[in-house]
Each structure stands twice: as structure tokens, then as C-alpha cells.
Structure 1
Amino acid sequence: MGASKFFRRGKPAWTEARQPDKKKEKRRRNQGRGGEERRGEGLRHVGEVLPLPRRQRSLAGDPRRPYPQILMKRLYDEVCRHGNRKPNPLVLDLLPDEDKPPGDLAFHAAGNNRHTFEKSLRILPPDISCITELFLGFPKWSAVITALDFSYNFIGDAGAEELARLLPEAIKRAGLAHLRAFDVSLNPLHKKGGLAAAALIEKTAHKGDDGANGGRSKVMLQELRLASCELEVDSVVAIAERLALANRTLRVLDVSNPRLFSLQADLSEHYARMVRMNPTLETVHVAKQRLGDEGTRILVQGLLENRTLRCLDLKANNISITGASHLATLLRADSNLETLILRANPIQDEGVGHISHALWYNRSLRHLDCGMCALTGKGVCQVADAIERNTTIERLELFENAWDEDSAQRFHEVLEGVQNRLTPLALDFLPYCVPVKPHDINMQYFVAARSLD
């Protein structure tokens, strides 16, 4: 009996009384370091957030759990004060209030907003520095930023370099790990800004942590818009090469209307390589780049090996009849392309005839835009014949062409026959019959007007 007491498991009873109280000891150490008083002092430096108990830290966007006091507007005021800048009212409106739970935040700071446009408070390069410092100070539990929109501002190449330098660090330290869309359209980025955007594409290339992917961030950037940013040839080539070799997360790319000084600045080879080697791109906007017929032929060769692209924007690229025949080859191959925009290209009646004949066999195209393509009534009738055979087209744009009475009557007949089709047909025009005399069906003519839908 005595042996069992002597060898029983656990510590003897007299040792438990000698152990110090761990909770009291921890409380005493915290008070000695000033941990309790620090909560009321506020922010000591830029980027510092108030320490909160672990039980008060909730997941972003979960209103069922208690959430901490959000101090984003206060942090932005301090960042602007340190940078000697006036806080932008649009940025203040975008930041969540302190009495609201955290959640997804789409940061749309476009310069054409009435708050900034009327007061001439568009975002400048010094403002970009303040905003990136604000992102560095975002606590991970405060908000999840899913989109950044700085379009219609004056960021410039200096602001773009600042974004490319600080955004990856903000992604690792703050709540930008869920960034999906980045828009800096209509900002004069020039060459340096375009190269900085290419570097950002490479830094946000793969999903994974720093150790697993050689220093790359965890963000999966899916949408990048750089339209009308005065990008030079070197910048566009760098972006295309990054997408061909390094990036496998981007879904939407818009590099429309770059700055091209000569016809020798042909980008079709780089675009063809990009769409041939990148398996994730779904939407590509390459409008106003003077690709021409030869550039269209090279691009189509790359698209024939691509099975993921869904939308191709070739607006205002000086594509004529020969280029339209190359695009007809792509449509006849029954690719996965769903949207084809050919607006403001002089393909004429013969070119649209090639495309219309290809639509007889295509079963993937959903949206076709041939507005301002120098078509006459003959070309419009060819498109009407293709729509009568094709049952997959859902949207058609043809209004800004030279319509006549025969083409309006032909489309009127086609639309009466396709009313029972499975997929409805959306048009930017409306053909209708106008009687010359009331109640006289023999005296009438057909016209086409712009649809209000």
C-alpha cells in the first residue's frame, strides 16, 4: 500500500503549492513593460497598429465574430501628415468606417470621380507614396483589398515605380494578398512606368509563399489594365515576354493604344508568342496598335495553338480584306474564341464576307463587333445570312455602317425567323417597317435605327 503511494504517477502534492501563479506572473511582467498603458497611446510611428488580444482578432469579412476597432482613416491622416500631403477625399471615402466590420475592399480611386475631378485633387506621385505606406500599415485582419483602380490620374512613371517597389512588400505584410485587379489606365506611365508594370507582373507570377517560389509573393493578380498609358515599344515587349515566360495567373490584359512612332515597331511577333505560350490568358485588348494584315496573320498563327483565349479586341488596327481572311481562318478552325471586336477596321464587304462564311461553321463565337468597318448594304446582307445559319451568336454590332433599304429588310426578315431561337440575340440596331400610307402594306420601306438597349 505504501509502495503504491510512493510510486504513483504525477508530482507529489507538496510540490504543487510551491509553484508560482503563472497568470499573476504574466500580468506582472506585462505591467512592468507598460503593456496595459500602451493601448491608449495611439500610433507611435507610421505603419504601427494597436496591439489587440488574440481573441478579438476576427477573420476579415466575418460579422459573426467580434471585430477590432478599425483605424485606417486615422492611419491615412498620419501618413499624409508625415509626407506633407493633403489627404485625398476620395481615398478617405473608400476607407471603411470604424463602426463597420472589416470585409472585402475594392479601392476604386479613379481620377474621373466627381470628388476629385471637380476639386482638381487627382492622384499624383507623392500621393502614391502615401497610399503605398498606408497599404504597408494595413493589418491583415482589417480588410481584404481585392482591386486597385488608379485610372484617369497623373501617376506618371515615378508613381508606377513606387507602386512596383512597394506593392510586393505590402502584399507580404498586409491585406493585399487577395489582390486580383490592378488598373492604371490613362496615366502617363511612359517607358519607366511600363517596365515597372512588367516587373510587377513577374513579382506576382506564381501562387505560393516566399520560400516555395524563390521570393515571389502569394498574390494571384488576374487583371491588369494599362490602356492609353503612353507605353513605349520596350515596355510593351517586356510585358508580353513576362506573360510568355514567367506569369501563369493573369487572365485579363489591356495594353491598348501604346505610343508607337514608326511602322517598324511591330508587336505582333511578341503577341503571338505570348498567346502561344501562356495557358491562362482569357481576354486580350490590343486596340490601336497598327498591326495591319501581316501582323494579323502572325497573331492568328499563335492563336491557332491557343485553347484558352475567350476575348480578342483588335479595334482600330488597320486590318483590311486580307487580315479579315486570316481571322476567318481562325473562326473556321472552331477555336474557343467567344468575343471578336473588329470595330474601326476597313475590312469592307469582301472582308466581312470571309468572316460571315466562317460563321456558318463556327459554334463558339458569342459576340461580334463590326461597327465602323466600311460596310455597305451588300456586306450587311452577308452578315444577315450568316446569322440566319448560326445559332450561337448572342450579340451583334453593325449599326455604324452604310445601311440601305435592302439590308434593313433582310435583317427584318431574319429577325422574324429567329425569334424562337434558344439564345436571344442582342443588337445595337433595330430594323423596322415604315408605311408610306396608313393601312397600306404595299407602300412601305425599311430602315435601321440605333437600338436603345
Structure 2
Amino acid sequence: LLRGVQRLNDEDCLFLSGCLKNKPVTGEQFTIRTHIGTFTSLHFECNRIRQPVEVWKRFCFSLQGNSSLLSLRLSGNKIGNRGTMYLAHMLQVNTGLQELELADSDLATQSVIALTIVLKSNRSLRSVDISRPLLFSHQEEWAVHCSEMLAMNSSLVELHLGKMGLTDAGMERLTAGLRFNHSLRYLDLRCNRVTRDGTQHLAGLLKENPSLQIIDLSSNRLEDEGAVYLSEAISWPGCGLKECSVNSNNIRTKGLLALTEAMKANTTLTHVYIWGNYLEEPAFRELMSGGRLLPERTDVSAYEVDGRVFLAEVFTKLRRRYYSYPAAGETTDSPVCTLQLHRT
């Protein structure tokens, strides 16, 4: 694990591309290869690429035949539309990559759609993050293609769609595809524009499909009505939800009490994060005092001053990742080695 290195430039990235090919290399490249070994994880976030088209073309070409790399994190690089197209083409050939992070990488509508199309047939990826793309269309075409992908894909277990501008209409499209999906466990929808209507579509999905275990709805617009819809789904027999975040959703006492009652009815849900709403102490007093909600599984703590009980934020958050490689029960022939190349 290499730490403390400065951001890489174009020449560094092109040189690294040669090391990613699963074939013997000579000269200086061979010396570096023998020192780092065959690595299974490449953390390449936030680097300084000035000519992205040629660099990402070479980089993706080198990954086509790579069978050892399992995790690739490229978030914070200005990959852009054309660079992502090369990535999509690489994913049509590469059958080893299991985790791909492309958050804040200047993805446009065309490249997001291209990735979802590839994921219809890709059977190796388990976790994908395409949060915060540059989407200027209000038609949410990407949601239509993502819905079709989710209906066909049977390998993804984790999908991050934060800061996508997702609306209630987009949520309706996504849930339509998720009704046919039984592999996804973690759905990240934070920082979107989902209101009570979109939450109603999600609640209907949770009643029908018990596969989803973790949902991040923080920083949306659920309000009390959305929280009530979500609570009804949580109370539904067979709901598989285990962890949920509804931080900063303008939820008041009515919605929080509904969540409280839902947790009484459903013992599967063990982690709830609610800070950033209009909190009043009675909403969670009974759950906390009765041991139903453990202190380390929420972001709210109660304290007493002069006989009055107040609530304070605890800095425990919904986990950011669900999938880890190799997955439980899986093994890899190569020693697990992470190459981290970004500014820390």
C-alpha cells in the first residue's frame, strides 16, 4: 500500500498502463512490476490528467486483458464523456473487475447510458458508483436505461446513484426495473430530489422485493408523508431492510414516530440514521431505552440537563460500502495488494 504520493500526470498514467497488462514487461517497467507484484486493487482518485482522451484510451486498453485487478477507483478524475466510452468498451471485454468507482468524474448523459447498457451483460461487477455526473437533461433518460439494466442484471449487489438529480418520475422508473432484480443489496440515492411520491414507489418495491437490505435516502425531500410511506413498507411482513438513512429530509414528529412504530413491528431493521430532521425526544426515547435501537446503530444520542432531555448528533453514519473483495467464500490466486495513487 503506497501512501503520501502526489497526484499523477499524463506521463505517469501512460506508464502505469503498461504495468496493468497481464504479460511480461521489460526494462524499467519490469523493475517496478517486481516490486509491486500483481495488485488486485487500484486507487487512482483525484489525479492531474491534462489530455484525458488519449490517456484514458491507453489506460482502458491495458485493462481489457487484465484478469487480476478486482477493484478500480477512479473517482475525482476528469474522465469525461469520451474517456467513459473507452471504459464502457473495456467492460465489454474485461471479465475480472468487481468494483468500479466513477463518482465526480464528469460523466455526461451519453456515457452514463453507455455504462448501463454494458451492465446489462457484464457479469463480474458487484459494485458500481456513478454519483455526481454532469446531467443537463430533465428527461432522466439515464433512469430509463438504468431501470432496464437492473431488470436484466443479476450480479450487482451495490449501486451508488447519489447527486443524480433523481426525481419522483425517475424513482418510478428505477423501481419498475428493481422489481425484477434479486441481487442488489445496497442502493445509494442520497442527495437527490425524491419527495413523498417517489418514496411511495420505493415503498411499494420494498413490499414486493425483500432483496434490498440497505438504502441511503439522506438529503432528499421525504417529509412526514414520505416517512410514513417508508414506515408502512418497513412494517410489511417479509421486508428485508436492515439499514436505512433518512438524514436531512425535513421529517417532523409524525414521520419519526411512524418510523419508531415500524421498528417495533420489524426486528430486521437494526440501523436507522435520522439526524438533520426536526427531532423531538419522544420519537426515539422508547426505542433507545428499551434496547431496540443500540447507540452505535444510530446517529442520535439523548442527554439530560436540569431534568430536560435533549438530543445530540453522534458521528456514526450509514456505511459507505457493502461489497468487499474477495466476496465471502471467494478466493483469489494472487496476493491481495492495493496500489494507491492519489493525493492523500
Normalised by the shorter chain, which TM-score bucket?
Answer: 0.7 to 0.9
| Counterpart secondary structure, 2:39 | strand
Q: Confirm or deny: 8 A CA contact 2:182 2:209 kept in the other structure.
A: no
Deviation (angstroms), 1:279:
0.7
- Corresponding residue to 1:296 among 171, 180, 183: 171
Aligned equivalent of 1:203, options 89, 93, 96: 93
CA change 1:141–1:189 in 2 (3 A) is closer
1:297–1:135 Cα change, 3 Å: closer
CA distance in 2, matches of 1:251, 1:357: 30
Alignment match, 1:101: none
For residues 306-332 of structure 1, give each alpha carbon's deviation from its aligned partner in whole angstroms, at most 9, with x where no partner exists: 111000011122000100100110111
Q: Once the two structures are superposed, what CA deviation does each residue of 1:339-376 show, in whole Å capped at 9, x if it has no partner?
A: 10101110100011000111112441111010011111
Partner of 2:46: 152
> What root-mean-square deviation, in Å, do the aligned CA atoms of Structure 1 and Structure 2 show?
2.1
| Higher RCO, 1 vs 2 (CA within 8 Å, ≥6 residues apart) | 2
Residue 68 of structure 2 corresponds to 178
Structure 2 counterpart of 1:335, from 185, 210, 223: 210
Instruction: Tell me whether 1:410 sits opposite 2:286 in the alignment.
Output: no
Report the equivalent of 1:431.
Answer: 302
Deviations 1:201-244 (A, max 9, x none): 11114xxxxxxxxxxxxxx1100110010111111111100111
Matched with 1:64 is none
Question: Partners in 2 of 1:276 and 1:328 — Cα distance?
Answer: 18
Matched, 1:446 2:319: no
Structure 2: how far apart are the matches of 1:135 and 1:316?
35
Residue 270 (structure 2) pairs with residue 394 (structure 1) = yes
- Amino acid aligned to 1:134: C
* Partner SS, residue 84 of structure 2: helix
Q: How far apart are 1:141 and its partner, in Å?
A: 8.2
What is the alpha-carbon distance in structure 2 between the residues aligned to residue 272 and residue 371 of structure 1?
Answer: 25
- Residue matched to 1:20: none
Question: 1:378 corresponds to which residue?
Answer: 254
Q: 1:452 to 1:293 in 2, by over 3 A?
A: closer
Describe the SS at the equivalent of 2:64: helix
Rg (Cα) greater in structure: 1
SS of 2:278's equivalent?
coil
Structure 2 unpaired stretches of 5+: 317-344
2:156 counterpart of 1:281:
yes
Contact 2:233 2:239 in 1 (8 A): no
Length, aligned pairs only = 304
Q: Is the 8 A contact 2:140 2:170 kept in 1?
A: no
Instruction: Show the 5 A alignment for 1:22-421.
Output: 94=2, 114-116=4-6, 122-136=7-21, 137=25, 143-155=37-49, 156-169=52-65, 171=66, 177-205=67-95, 220-244=96-120, 246-361=121-236, 362-404=238-280, 408-419=281-292
SS state at 2:141 partner: coil
Q: TM-score, normalised by structure 2?
A: 0.83
For 1:383, give the aligned amino acid. Answer: L
